[in-house]
Amino acid sequence: MNYWQAVVLGLVQGLTEFLPVSSSGHLVLAEALIGVKMPGLFVEVALHVATLGSVLIVYGRRLWEIIRGVFTGSAQGVRHAALLAVATIPAAVIGILFQKPIEEHFHSMLALGIEFIVTGLLLWSTRGASGDRTLPGWAGAVSIGLGQAFAILPAISRSGATVAAALWARLSPAAAAEFSFLMAIPVIAGAALLEARHAAVNLSQVGQGPFVVSFLVSFVSGIFAIRFLVAMLRRGRFYAFAPYCWIVGILTIVYALGRG
């Protein structure tokens, strides 16, 4: 990977991690289009860690309030932490059980195109969804967690699936975004730990300089993407990303079939 490829991949990850268009799907697509062949999933996971840093920058104060509430025995803090924990379980279980088959099919372009179209359908389904709740109920937390588990497939947007589920659970737009991004923290951190054992060999193949550049670009652009998505949610325009996903999905399928 050279430096311009590193910048492209960093921008793709940072901008699409939080916009509901699937960062993993765009990374796989970008790698194919610019001719980058990544060893395993280490780089993809590492770039997700960069955008995890973006979440901590934007929502760090809120996360600290929840942690402090747990340790001080605040009922609200304990409930919030418990709901996040419940929502995290499905993706953690599926990630551990199905890591190998997911890796084997991660770069299938045909599957990628189909998943982009499914993501668009999820986003379109939120038209007219409205609510004013600041937290989901227990059933709502489970449904949001199932959305995150479904998003283990590369072109199913994690933010798209979880925010859509949160909106269906009648959370307010800002609360839906906050809950979605906070629940991503343990899942991304866990995936990073699973892939950390491959760090030495993968860094030697990718190149430390380009890797660092890609990581930093992803981190900075991720902060911008979070703020942009929250603004779109507040305007009730979350579903507006659906046509883009459909177009990318159709083009990806055509590309896959044309490639044979």
Model pLDDT, residue 107: 64
End-to-end CA distance of the chain: 26
What pLDDT is recorded for position 4? Answer: 84
What whole-number distance in Å separates Cα of residue 122 and Cα of residue 239?
Answer: 8
- Read off the tokens for 70: 């747990």
At residue 13's C-alpha, the angle toward residues 11 and 19, to 5°, is 100
DSSP state of 238: G
| Residue the block writes with tokens 């199913």 | 156
**How open is the CA angle 117-121-122, to the nearest 5 degrees?**
115
- The domain ranges of the chain are 3-259
Q: What is the pLDDT along the chain (260 residues), one digit of tens a residue?
A: 788 888 888 888 888 888 898 877 787 778 778 777 665 566 767 777 888 899 899 999 999 999 999 999 899 999 999 999 999 888 878 877 776 666 666 667 888 899 999 999 999 999 888 788 999 999 999 999 999 888 888 888 989 999 999 999 999 999 999 999 998 888 777 766 765 655 555 556 667 787 888 889 999 999 999 999 999 898 888 999 999 999 999 999 998 888 76
